[in-house]
Each structure stands twice: as structure tokens, then as C-alpha cells.
Amino acid sequence: MHLESGCSSARSATDYDDLASQRVMVKAGMTLHRNPLPTPSHFQVLAVRGHPLWPTG
């Protein structure tokens, strides 16, 4: 997870099959966004909290 001191937004990435990490992200108040494409492989699930360009809910 990337979080800067004094910053109100956070982002994190994980794999489709890493359900434990996805649960932690949701519990941290993050919204999950899934990449429907097979590439890039490191960008399968993106979790975001508090970013004005990424809607939550």
C-alpha cells in the first residue's frame, strides 16, 4: 500500500486470487477496481481510498 504522511488518499494493488489482501483493503475503507484485461499482470486489482478521480462505493 502506498500512503504518504498527511495525504488523504491511498492506493494498493494485488492479484485476482489474493482474497485475503482484498478483504484487508476493503476493511481499510478502500474501493476495489478490477482490471478486465490480462495485462499488465501486476495490475489485476487496484484498491483506492480518498482519490478524487476514482469514485468510491
Identify the pLDDT of residue 27.
Answer: 92
Identify the pLDDT of residue 19.
Answer: 95
Grid-cell match 486470487, residue found: 17
Mean per-residue pLDDT, 26-34:
90
CA distances from 51 to 1, 2, 11, 39, 45 (A): 14, 12, 9, 23, 16
Mean per-residue pLDDT, 34-55:
79
CA distances from 22 to 5, 7, 35 (A): 23, 22, 14
Mean per-residue pLDDT, 19-37:
91
Mean per-residue pLDDT, 13-27:
92
Identify the pLDDT of residue 24.
Answer: 93
